[in-house]
Amino acid sequence: MADKSKFTRKMVDCATRLTAEAARAFAEAGVQVVGRYLGNWAKSLTPGEVQAIRQAGLDILSFWESNPTHPDYFTPEQAKSDAERAVASAKAIGQPPGSAIYFTVDFDAQDKDLPAIARYVDVLLDTVKEYAVGIYGPKRVVDYLAGRQRRPAYFAQTCAWSGGQLSDHADVYQYETDQRLAGIAVDLDLATADAGTWFVKRETGGMTSRSGSPVPQISQHRTLYLDAVGEDVRLCQRLLYRAGQHPGPIDGAYGSGTMNAVRAFQAANRLTVDGICGPRTWAALESAKQAERPLLERGANGQQVKDLQYLLTFHKCSPGAVDGAFGERMEQAVKAFQKARGLTVDGKVGPQTWGALLAV
């Protein structure tokens, strides 16, 4: 039996455009997340609706759905079309990069249908770069895709065609369909704190929703996943170095090195090890103390020297090639950094120099 305790947020999804009044009514009923559709259809999210939802204090979870109700739909060509149209629609309504778009598998998929669905998902992953890819579908689809080496960032599981079972991999669980709230037809869902939503509340803890249920502490930063880019990725990389990890270049690109460093940090801090820098990981990184680093000087070799080389490069004191060897050029780069920071200029990297290099 899957653990439902990870679902901390009350959510609904609907195919109706919400007015400001409806959005407020949802919030008053304790809803924290609204699932809505991207696209150019009568059921699709509009910029005006986005503002109404935001003003009500709700988060948004984006879905893309054309006609994924039969096996023949899931072709590479359809995936590319869906990906391009979904991204264009997300940009048009101001959805921030790094948040998720969930693509739907809305039929009772059988085992024989799963390889085609997987190929469809591979094309989505190849095409969608600015947003995280999520998949909505029954348990069989979620479990199959979650077990592959290339997998989406998020999963939403419907209760339909799932035999009353819940996947361990679900970030969103649609547990009841065809309900009404504030006169609007909705499906009822539960969501984890990090499910790829956008307009996340910036609560500081200790607060409750209007329904009286706890509101989880959410980071002010967006959730970072593989291939994300930006200044927030650069900040994540610097915090990882401060915490004693080894993310590689401080370049604002969330590649495999950064993801593996996040995984190592999560394991060391008893967090869910998924390589995704979500709210809990951000909070732990920001509160982490500076890790101890060894004294380094000319002649040293190894990972700590590589870390030093990446840090000096970030601080515009080029040490030359990142090769893990502390040579003459490296020593000169350290001295240049020390002089610029008003430190003792000796070319050795001890506590004071490490502290200046790692300060965020």
Least confident of 51-55, 69-73, 234-238: 51-55
Helix (H) or strand (E) holding 145: helix 139-146
Is the pLDDT at 117 greater than 90, yes or no?
yes
Can you name the CATH fold of 231-287?
Muramoyl-pentapeptide Carboxypeptidase; domain 1 (1.10.101)
Confidence check: pLDDT of 135 > 90: yes
Paired sense of beta strands 33-37 and 7-13, if any: parallel
Average of per-residue pLDDT across 256-284: 91
- Tokens, residue 76: 């590479």
pLDDT of 200 above 60? no
| In the chain, where the domains are located | 4-192, 231-287, 303-358
The answer to whether domain 4-192 has CATH 3.20.20.80 is yes
pLDDT band at 353 (very low <50, low <70, confident <90, very high): very high
23-40: per-residue pLDDT in tens? 999 999 999 999 999 998
Cα separation of 247 and 233, whole Å?
A: 11
Burial 30-65 (b: 16+ CB within 10 A, else e): ebbbbbbbbbeeeebbeeebbebbeebbbbbbbbbb
CA 324 and chain centroid, separation = 31
Tell me which residue of 67, 74, 169 sits closest to 115, measured CA to CA.
Answer: 74
pLDDT at 224: 83
- CATH architecture of the region 303-358: Orthogonal Bundle (1.10)
**DSSP-assigned letter for residue 48:** H
Contact 176, 19 (CB under 8 A): no
Q: How far apart are the first and last CA of the chain?
A: 43
The pLDDT of residue 208: 30
303-358 matches 231-287 in CATH topology: yes
What mean pLDDT is predicted for residues 241-250? Answer: 97
Report the percent of the chain where pLDDT is more than 90. Answer: 80
| Verdict on whether the full-model pTM lies above 0.85 | no
Pairing status of strand 100-104 against strand 132-137? parallel
pLDDT in tens, 274-287: 888 888 899 899 99
List, in order, residues 6 or more apart from 158 with CB less than 8 Å away: 106, 136, 137, 138, 174, 177
How far is the CA of 300 from the CAs of 36, 90, 153, 303, in angstroms?
Answer: 56, 50, 40, 10
pLDDT surpasses 60 at 209: no
Q: Which of 16-30, 41-55, 100-114, 340-354 shows the lowest per-residue confidence on average (mean pLDDT)?
A: 41-55
